[in-house]
Amino acid sequence: KEPFTVGSKSFTAVAINTAAKAGEWIKSKLGDFSSLTIKTSPHDLVTEVDKGSEMMIRNLIMTHFPTHSILGEEGVEPGAAASIKALQEASDAEYLWIVDPVDGTTNFIHGFPFFSVSIALAHKGEIIVGVVYDPNRDELFVAEKGKGAYVHGRRTMVSGEERLLDSLVATGFPTDRGPNIAGNMRGLEAVVPRVRNVRSGGSAALHLAYVAAGRLSGYWELGLNAWDIAAGMLLVKESGGHVTDTKGNPYHLEVRNIVATNGRIHDELAQLLQESDAAGN
């Protein structure tokens, strides 16, 4: 049995309240953030709002669960190597909160209303709670391991499409200008002719929530981190979907190249990505 509470405190309730509070605050800052800093390149940005949101989330979680650990994007040095190291170092914790304070920072900066707050809780390396909040639509997606996934009390379910050709799928363009850009292009070239159409909204966590809710039948992206994926991954699984890496291996916290689908189109999509060598070998 998964422990979802300490005493009378529900992990899920804290995750929900925290994501909602942070999301509301972020939305209030839309078009009004003061400073913007380049992280690794002009494609990779951070604002005071990312940092403020993470601070708010950390404080709320620490108030309720002072013995738990927290891994948040803005607490980690920029770049893939530092991110991988930070996750490895955090992995020992019995309870680890994995936080993306603003998923879709580029959208936030440009006023493109598609971004989210993503909060997951791992117990001994397994995600047991996932919450993704979209303040622009006021949609709060919640999943508990073994208990299903919900958006505002309504159960979410993946789409029924059986074939890639009938499917709307999404991807994201890596912000690090490394080999993942070329891989993403190879993947797109293979996938575009084989699906109904492709979207790219710019928030990994929301794309995953949309797969969970049946609004997308599939999603893939290269070079992500645990804070982009962890909460949305549980939403997809608890909605009847399937999540693996681009080679078809089961999801774990270190997976960076992700494929999430309604399950029915999973092998077809993963195979196309593999054949196109999207993730490199």
What x-and-dash track marks residues 222-251 binding ligand 2AM by CB under 6 A? Answer: -xx---x-----------------------
> Where does this chain touch Ca ion (CB under 5 A) — which range of 61-69, 100-108, 212-220, 271-279?
100-108
Q: In sequence order, what are the beta bridge partners of 116? A: 103
Nearest residue to ligand 2AM, scored by beta-carbon proximity:
172
**Which of 12, 105, 136, 184 is close enough to bind ligand 2AM by CB under 6 A?**
105
Q: Are 71 and 87 in contact (CB under 8 A)?
A: yes
Token code pair at residue 139? 């949609």
Nearer to ligand 2AM, 99 or 122 (CB): 99
Q: Which residues, in sequence order, are CB contacts of 66 under 8 Å at separation 6+?
A: none
Residue type, 77: E
Residue type, 176: D
Give the E-state strand segments of the chain in sequence order.
5-6, 9-10, 36-41, 44-47, 69-72, 95-103, 116-123, 126-134, 139-144, 148-151, 154-155, 168-171, 197-199, 218-221, 242-245, 258-261
- 136 three-state secondary structure: coil
Q: How far is the CB of 64 from ligand 2AM (least distance, A)?
A: 24
CA distance 202 to 147: 28
104 interacts with, out of ligand 2AM, Ca ion, none, CB within 5 to 8 A per kind: ligand 2AM
Q: According to the binding rule CB under 6 A, does residue 44 interact with ligand 2AM?
A: yes
Interface with ligand 2AM in residues 197-226 (CB under 6 A): 202-204, 221, 223-224
Q: How many residues are present in the chain?
A: 281
Interface with ligand 2AM in residues 111-170 (CB under 6 A): none
What x-and-dash track marks residues 34-73 binding Ca ion by CB under 5 A? Answer: ---------------------------------------x
Applying CB under 5 A, the residues found at the interface with Ca ion are 73, 100, 102-103, 228
Applying CB under 6 A, the residues found at the interface with ligand 2AM are 40, 44, 73, 100, 102-105, 172-176, 202-204, 221, 223-224, 228
